[in-house]
C-alpha cells in the first residue's frame, strides 16, 4: 500500500509539472513555434513575415488569463520595406520615429489588446498581447 501511494504521488507530481510546462509556462517549445507565429500574426492582423520561421525568435509571457507573444527577427531593409508595403494594416498606420527606431502601434484583432511593432535598422520586434 505504501509503494502504491509513493507511485501515485510521483505520477501526480509528474502530471502537474507536465501540465504547467505545456500550458502555463512561458517556454515556447520547438513544436509550438509555428503556432505561436501564426497566432501572433492573426492577433496583429499582419501578413506573413519576410523571413522563414526558423529565423524567428519567439517568446511568450503571461498566465492562463493573459498571453503575450514577442517575435524578433532580422531581415534586409528591402525585405522589411516590401513586407510593410504588402501589409494593408501597416500602410494605414503612421510610424513614429524615436531615434533610429520606427514604431507602429497596432490595434489588436480577434479580441486582443494589440501591440507594438518596432523596426530598428534590420531588427524587427513584434509584441502582441491578449487579456
The pLDDT tens digits of the residues spanning 60-107 come to 988 778 889 999 999 999 999 998 888 888 888 899 999 999 999 999
Which of 42-63 are b and which e, b meaning 16 or more Cβ less than 10 Å from the residue's Cβ? ebbbbeebbbeeeebebebeee
* 64 part of a folded domain: yes
Task: Specify the pTM.
Answer: 0.80
112: domain range?
28-130
Task: Confirm if 129 and 114 have CB atoms less than 8 A apart.
Answer: yes
* 9 part of a folded domain: no
2 to 13, 15, 26, 63, 125: CA distances (angstroms): 17, 20, 36, 36, 53
State the chain's mean pLDDT as an integer: 87
Domain tally, the chain: 1
Cell digits of residue 79 = 525585405
* 65 part of a folded domain: yes
* % of the chain beyond a pLDDT of 70: 95
* 12 part of a folded domain: no
pLDDT higher than 90, residue 119: yes
Q: How far apart are CA 76 and CA 69, in angstroms?
A: 23
Amino acid at each position: 500500500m505504501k509503494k502504491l501511494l509513493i507511485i501515485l504521488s510521483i505520477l501526480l507530481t509528474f502530471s502537474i509539472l507536465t501540465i504547467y510546462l505545456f500550458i502555463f509556462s512561458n517556454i515556447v517549445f520547438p513544436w509550438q513555434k509555428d503556432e505561436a507565429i501564426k497566432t501572433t500574426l492573426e492577433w496583429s492582423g499582419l501578413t506573413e513575415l519576410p523571413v522563414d520561421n526558423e529565423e524567428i525568435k519567439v517568446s511568450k509571457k503571461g498566465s492562463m488569463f493573459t498571453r503575450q507573444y514577442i517575435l524578433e527577427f532580422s531581415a534586409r531593409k528591402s525585405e522589411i520595406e516590401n513586407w510593410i508595403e504588402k501589409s494593408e494594416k501597416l500602410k494605414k498606420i503612421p510610424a513614429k520615429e524615436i531615434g533610429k527606431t520606427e514604431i507602429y502601434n497596432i490595434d489588436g484583432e480577434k479580441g486582443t489588446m494589440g501591440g507594438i511593432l518596432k523596426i530598428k535598422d534590420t531588427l524587427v520586434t513584434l509584441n502582441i498581447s491578449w487579456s
